[in-house]
Amino acid sequence: DSGVTQTPKHLITATGQRVTLRCSPRSGDLSVYWYQQSLDQGLQFLIQYYNGEERAKGNILERFSAQQFPDLHSELNLSSLELGDSALYFCASTTGVNTEAFFGQGTRLTVV
């Protein structure tokens, strides 16, 4: 158990819909990262937050947004969903000075 919790584990929704994925980082970790992993693909960096503020942005679509709340949990919002958005979405956290990232078990999103 990495200490990072993601909910839900699975999500099936229709095209055009909007979903919210939730991540609770390890206790004490200030940085949260979101990654997208399509089938048999690598980890595509989406966005990073540190202590509530956006720190870095990767290849995140305009239809996607995220935020980190005062209690440090983070949410990734995906809207106007398309079939191609079907993927595993991982959240990871670090202390901010650590070299190791701890990943949650991911949310498997299926858009039908």
Partner 1 sequence: GQSLEQPSEVTAVEGAIVQINCTYQTSGFYGLSWYQQHDGGAPTFLSYNALDGLEETGRFSSFLSRSDSYGYLLLQELQMKDSASYFCAVHYGQNFVFGPGTRLSVLP
Beta carbon nearer to partner 1, 7 or 41: 41
Least spacing, CB of residue 34 vs partner 1, in Å: 12
Beta carbon nearer to partner 1, 67 or 79: 67
Least spacing, CB of residue 94 vs partner 1, in Å: 7
Least spacing, CB of residue 78 vs partner 1, in Å: 20
Distance CA 67, CA 53 (A): 8
57 to each of 34, 40, 82, 91, how far by Cα in Å? 10, 23, 21, 14
Q: Contact positions toward partner 1, by CB under 8 A?
A: 2, 31, 33, 35, 41-43, 45, 48, 50, 55-56, 90, 92, 94, 96, 99-106
Distance CA 64, CA 80 (A): 9
Beta carbon nearer to partner 1, 46 or 78: 46
Burial of 74: CB neighbours in 10 Å, binned 0-12, 13-18, 19+: buried
